[in-house]
Amino acid sequence: MREVYIAGVGMTKFGRLERGQLELFGEAAMDAINESNLKPKDIQALFLGNSVSDLDEGQTVLASHAASEIGLDHVMATRTEGACASSSIAIIIAFVMVGSGFFDIVLAGGCERNTASPTALATRIMNTGPHHRYESPTGITFPGMFAMMAHMYAKKYGVSLERLKEWMAMVAIKNHKNGAKNPKAQFQKVITMDDVFSSIMVASPLQLYDCCPISDGAAAVVVASGNVAKKLTNKPVQIIGVGQASSGGLSTQRDYTLPVARVHSSRQAYKMAGLKPEDIDVVELHDCFTIAEIVATDTLGFTEPGRGGIAVEKGETEIGGRIPVNPSGGLKAKGHPVGATGAAQVYEIVNQLRGKCGERQVEGAKVGMTDTLGGPFASIGNIILKRGW
């Protein structure tokens, strides 16, 4: 298999935006293409992650329309869907296509305009992830799922809910502090413990500041073979490991504190990269709710099981700590336009490895990892990247 690199990246600001998904993706895509010193005619295929464009904007065949929007007529254009992991899957497919030699230069990324729908409808649309026969009729929601995860975590590791809530608040505070340094983040303000604990209850023990927002946005990357990428940029970033795994609905999963799809996906990525968790310098992981970050640091091997919250308390996951987590602000502060999230995580890691992140730069970062979770812990994508120069 050939070496595969990222030559360029692009990303819009995240938030409540007044442009449609095609316009948003066009902006991110052209930024990635221009940064790669390419023209649209050089792109051989497009893989576009998107979850609910047909429901939010009434638009299907999104990848083909997106390709046409930026002058990629007649290329292979494919939409990938894995809920929040949609654009991670798109990048993984691009990696396989380039690595196999089928293509030399591929554009991959994602977009979503989740604020196009009123809150009640957006909540219903988001809730298409759970199993429509066995789970949705029970009234389960994503805040409800992660609230159950929090209760299970507390019971499994003998932690009081009060203590766990403090750890979760620390996650929110850390990520908002990072987001305040990210000009593309949806929320760019520092928050306090009082802000978290005085916010409304959403699904006990999760309060408002434990939950990521509904967002609009897009992100894109140019994936190229080694010999091509090294001609396009003097700072190519190599994809050295990928993993993707799935599982069934909630009823098939015995332990929400150890999502089985993440276990398999991350192991695949580590094995391909020939690395261990301690080799990773920086990680962008799926913190759709604050408990999700704590569980993910455990599952990915950055902390021992049950100690993810302690790591936050000790500052180990801060920028400058042992394993910086979500220097972009994460989904919690950067925002979460579902189909764009995985590509946005890659955007951040690429810029971290290139030393381009300003106040939120992780000094000396040479290897980074992304982790994106889709649906009811049912679709996971992991990507490991390293400096290619």
Measuring CA to CA, which residue among 223, 272, 236 is closest to residue 384?
272
Measuring CA to CA, which residue among 329, 128, 120 is closest to residue 217?
329
CA distances to 20, 101, 116, 374 from 16, rounded to whole Å, are 11, 39, 9, 22
* DSSP 8-state code for residue 226: H
H helices then E strands: how many in the chain? 14, 11
Measuring CA to CA, which residue among 381, 6, 34, 63 is closest to residue 228?
6
CB neighbourhood size of 315 (10 A): 13
Whole-angstrom distance, CA of residue 332 vs CA of residue 312:
15
Q: List active site positions.
A: 84, 336
Amino acid at 356: K
Q: Which residues pair with 387 in a beta bridge?
A: 237
Regarding beta strands 76-80 and 4-11, do their DSSP bridges make them parallel or antiparallel, or are they unpaired?
unpaired
The verdict on whether omega for the bond into residue 324 sits within 30 degrees of 0, i.e. cis, is no
Measuring CA to CA, which residue among 367, 192, 141 is closest to residue 276?
367
* DSSP 8-state code for residue 89: H
Whole-angstrom distance, CA of residue 31 vs CA of residue 9:
7
Whole-angstrom distance, CA of residue 142 vs CA of residue 137:
14
